[in-house]
Amino acid sequence: MSGNKRLMRDVRDILTSNRKDIRALDTDLGSLNVRNYLLLPTLEPYNERAFCVSLEFTQYPEKAPNVCIKTKMYHPNVRDNGQVCLHMLTDAGWKPGVTILELLDEILKLINEPQLDRPANQEIAAQYQQRREEFNKAAQEHVRKYGETRPE
């Protein structure tokens, strides 16, 4: 299956999935190069708001899309510029059979359960491990200040 057909199928699968925790912000199928989604985490301290993630497809499915969380986030695995530190997104970790929905599920899982073996921010990771209450407070403040309104 060509990359464009595969991408179209993956995008349609998300649009028709009726998922409550992953919402497509782009419903137009005309432009597939960049797609935006709203992720709704279920665990504290991120579950009060939603987070916009942008996927840019350059060589999909042979290579992982470029992933950026557009909503400012205080998280051990998310850099200040929104880049996500997730093994699945590396050349070594990417598998062409991974669908967009599976990728978004992994990002959502990462938001809910940080991976401290691959932190993007060492300081936040140390705070998460050693001073969880302080981390939760800082993360919750960011969520309330920068998070997107959760859809009904």
Distance CA 36, CA 77 (A): 19
Measured over the CA atoms of residue 87, residue 90, residue 96 and residue 102, the dihedral's sign is positive
- The two structure tokens encoding residue 120: 């993007």
Give me the catalytic one of 85, 86, 108, 120: 85
Q: Does the annotation mark 52 as catalytic?
A: no
Q: Which residues contact 18 (CB under 8 A, 6 or more apart)?
A: none
Helix crossing, 122-130 with 132-146: angle to 10°?
Answer: 120
Active-site residues, by number, are 85
